[in-house]
Structure 1
Amino acid sequence: MEISVGAPWTAEDLVASSDWLQRAAAQKVTSRNALAVLATKGRTRRVRNAAARGLAQLDD
């Protein structure tokens, strides 16, 4: 997962990725940009909610 190692990535790549990858990223990634993309454009409600929770935790 390029996001977790700091490699370049695009929002389009993340949005086009599999449900599994989006779900895993939403739960493990600490990139504010990636979480924001997933919170708004994630494929499933589960992904969007997990990403929104991740963003909220970063704000704490």
Structure 2
Amino acid sequence: MGKERFIKVYSEGTLNVTQIFVDKVTGVNYMFHCSGNAGGLTPLLNKSGQPMITPISDYE
């Protein structure tokens, strides 16, 4: 397969897991949280309500 689109940049916890991923195409940051068999994914927002963007060059 080709290059992976998402890179995990942060992770904590074992039963209650919180992770942050960066989309290497758009630079958008996403937070994933799961507890047991339930979980959710959401984009991280800045104080203006816009998606947080990481410069893509940071992951090339």
Work out whether the TM-score is over 0.5: no
Higher strand share: 2
Given the two structures, how large is their TM-score scaled by the length of structure 1?
0.25
